[in-house]
A and B are shown apart, each in its own frame.
Chain A
Amino acid sequence: MFDNVPDDGTGYVLAAYIFFLLMILIYIGILGAKFQRINREVGQLADEVETGKIGKPDKPATEESEPVREESSV
């Protein structure tokens, strides 16, 4: 496969840079899929709250129930 690469190393240089580019693109794709999943989960939660599946307790919330706190940013 690498027998046809020119002697000056152009093919190797190209291979290294293309590998790097592909790797970053794949990684960004994985991150994008992760964010899509989070987005889907948020949508599901919103749907469940709106349709009353969760968030409407049968009995009033007790004092032990933890309020939802705001997440601190990094």
Chain B
Amino acid sequence: MSARGLKALSIATVVTLIIGFTLAIFWAPMDADQGFKQKIFYLHVPLAIVALIGFIAGGVEGFRHLRSGDRRHDANSYVFIHLSVVFGVAVLATGAIWAKASWGHWWVWEEPTLVSFLIVFLLYCTYYPFRYAIEDRDRQARYASVFAITAGAFVPLNFMAVRMAESIIHPRVFATSEGGLPGSMLFAFLICLVGMGLLWLTLVKVELAGKQASGQVSRLRRSLSNDQGGGSVGGRIAPSMEAS
């Protein structure tokens, strides 16, 4: 993406998030049960949804890498998972704050939704040491792709298992027997969700641009060293955007 496109995307992200959060706090009606503290919902839930979709998208890119061997898909998979882990930190933190406000505890181990998200998050935290433990770059990319696919498939399965669980104190707001969110709440939520998705996309684009620039610098340095008769400048373990 060009710098101009990235700038437009960044502006769209900031504007959408500001509109979304403003609607959520000042326009969406107060929740009858939880009151003002329910406003965390407009931050916490979009973060969680985008993080989980990012994990799945990382698996899809891993699959595309295994099929095509194109190193760009591996870099996409790495960046998708990386950003989703960062979003996951925010999900856990905002969730803990909400839990303290609503239930009086920072964490409730009996609640399947919380624990399952923690398991998914910890699973993806192992992606980094797993990846960086392999020095051979081709093998590293292949193994990381297999991990991304397996873990990515685990995410929806985990989600469905939790939805079917009976022990629930974590609020269910979509597709409930009571009909779910009222229209104005849903509208504000959707704007926040779109804004969060745009934020994730913007950060992905910036990360990928950084990886691409870093890869170009490394390749240029290597090419210049080879021209001079020098050897390798050392391997890199993080994925780059170099042509395979």
Residues on A facing B (Cβ under 8 Å): 2, 8-10, 12-13, 15-17, 19-20, 23-24, 27, 31, 34-35, 38, 41-42, 45, 48-49, 54-59, 61, 65-69, 71-74
Contact = CB atoms under 8 A, between A and B. Distances in A.
B243 A72 contact: yes
A66 B223 contact: yes
Nearest to A69: B243
B229 interface: yes
Nearest to A59: B229
Given A9-B101, A17-B21, A35-B213, A65 B226 contact: yes
Question: What is the size category of the interface that chain B forms with chain A?
Answer: 35 or more
Nearest to A17: B43
A20 B215 CA distance: 30
Interface stretch (B50-58, B86-94, B121-129, B151-159): B86-94
Interface of B: 1, 21, 25, 34-37, 39-40, 43-44, 47, 72, 75-76, 86, 89-90, 93-94, 97-98, 100-102, 199, 203, 206-208, 210, 212-217, 219-221, 223-229, 241-243
Task: Across the A-B interface, give the 6 residue pairs with the lowest CB-CB distance, nearest first.
Answer: A9-B37, A12-B101, A16-B94, A9-B101, A54-B224, A16-B97
Contacts of B39: 13
16 contacts: A13-B39, A16-B94, A20-B90, A20-B94, A34-B214, A38-B213, A41-B221, A55-B224, A57-B227, A59-B229, A65-B223, A71-B242, A73-B212, A74-B1, A74-B75, A74-B241
A65 B227 contact: yes
A58 B199 CA distance: 50
A72 B225 CA distance: 22
A23 B51 CA distance: 15
Given A23-B89, A23-B90, A16 B226 contact: no
Contacts of A49: 224
**Which of B101, B102, B208, B243 lies at the interface centre, i.e. has the most chain A CB atoms within 10 A of its CB?**
B101
Contacts of B225: 54
A41 B241 CA distance: 17
A20 B25 CA distance: 15
Given A8-B36, A20-B43, A74 B212 contact: yes
